[in-house]
């Protein structure tokens, strides 16, 4: 596996997802869930569980077009149970991602994937 695929960073620059606005990706998460009969509220519940944000906090981040790096850096309370998230996203095992920020992004991707595949919320939220 290449350094970029494993860590999310190449030797010379930062991965572009780090500086991508969360607000530009959020509608894609919601659309993916809704195409599979799930709801925006469920996507939000996943985000709240993972990061500790609430509705007002999430709305403010979206309005401010906060990038992924700051989205996770400013998270009020990253859920310690997120380390129970295992599996493959985009061909990479989330538990093997070494770069901390890329791992957080992959955790979120994995949770939204599980939602879209019809998994129950109690299982998604590792309850």
The pLDDT tens digits for 66-102 are: 999 999 999 999 999 999 999 999 899 999 999 999 9
Alpha-carbon gap, residue 104 to 127, rounded angstroms: 19
Other Cβ atoms within 10 Å of 88 Cβ, number: 13
Alpha helices in the chain (DSSP H): 3-7, 22-35, 40-51, 55-64, 68-73, 100-116, 121-124
Give tens-digit pLDDT for 56-65.
Answer: 999 999 999 9
- Ordered domains of the chain (ranges, CATH): 15-124 (1.10.8.290)
Q: Give the pTM.
A: 0.86
């Amino acid at each position: 596996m290449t350094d970029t695929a494993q860590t999310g960073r190449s030797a010379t620059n930062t991965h572009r997802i780090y500086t991508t606005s969360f607000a530009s990706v959020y509608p894609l998460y919601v659309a993916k869930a809704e195409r599979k009969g799930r709801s925006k509220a469920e996507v939000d519940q996943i985000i709240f569980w993972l990061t500790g944000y609430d509705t007002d906090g999430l709305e403010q981040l979206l309005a401010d077009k906060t990038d992924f790096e700051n989205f996770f850096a400013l998270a009020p309370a990253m859920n310690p149970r997120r380390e129970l998230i295992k599996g493959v996203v985009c061909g990479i095992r989330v538990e093997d991602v070494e770069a901390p920020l890329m791992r957080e992004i992959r955790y979120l991707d994995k949770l939204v994937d599980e939602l879209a595949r019809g998994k129950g919320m109690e299982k998604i939220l590792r309850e």
